[in-house]
A and B are shown apart, each in its own frame.
Chain A
Amino acid sequence: GQNIDQPTEMTATEGAIVQINCTYQTSGFNGLFWYQQHAGEAPTFLSYNVLDGLEEKGRFSSFLSRSKGYSYLLLKELQMKDSASYLCAVTDSNYQLIWGAGTKLIIKP
């Protein structure tokens, strides 16, 4: 079956760095997404990785290792507004998005 695992909840301090991990097992792979979702709102796109390596975009970076079925989202200089759920999603061989359950990130002052 298809499976995406990520931690349920993480806590970090304002100004610090946090890494959210995601491991996946899917039938085929056509890219991995990270989305941010605030409570009661739709997901917003953060990053897309299809090749191995690190993609940096401002305070957010995303890493992919296809051989290990592993990705992480790195958030630097954490701000209170970063408190949200972070969803990992993989596009399978049919270009269908397979979603992880999401990681709720709590930022403390």
Chain B
Amino acid sequence: GAVVSQHPSWVICKSGTSVKIECRSLDFQATTMFWYRQFPKQSLMLMATSNEGSKATYEQGVEKDKFLINHASLTLSTLTVTSAHPEDSSFYICSARDQVGPDYEQYFGPGTRLTVT
């Protein structure tokens, strides 16, 4: 089956620093990847849709200058949280859509837990 990896699985950083999270599709090509954020006891919140070779589409209320997304290849998308603050502490999950599969198929990465101190 399709596998999506995320790195790192968890990270602790100091307030004001930047953190990069990688999302890779390991055995398929993904023209579209999605970045979600999930706070404790809440559902997934879509942050942005990332298409290979083009700018990401951000959801309303998500600061594009703070959450930088780069989808440079068909197997890799990165999310950089710039100038992180404690309120950015959350569980960040990516998913990827198979380039050749049905439009509905999305495969989720294992998530990255970010703690900003």
Footprint of B on A, CB under 8 Å? 30-31, 33, 40-45, 48, 50, 87, 91, 95-97, 99-102
For the complex, would chain A's binding face be called helix, strand, loop or mixed by DSSP majority?
A: loop
Given contacts A41-B110, A41-B111, A99-B44, is CB(A91)–CB(B91) below 8 Å?
no
Q: Would you call A97 and B108 a contact (CB within 8 A)?
A: no
Can you report 8 residue pairs joining A to B where beta carbons are below 8 Å apart? A30-B104, A31-B104, A40-B91, A41-B111, A42-B108, A45-B107, A87-B43, A96-B49
The 0/1 profile, CB within 8 Å of A marked 1, for residues 89-115 of chain B is 001010000000001101111110100
Q: Would you call A42 and B109 a contact (CB within 8 A)?
A: yes
Q: Would you call B43 and A40 a contact (CB within 8 A)?
A: no
How many Å from the CB of B76 to the closest CB on chain A?
18
Among A30, A31, A43, find the residue whose CB has the most chain B CB atoms closer than 10 A.
A43
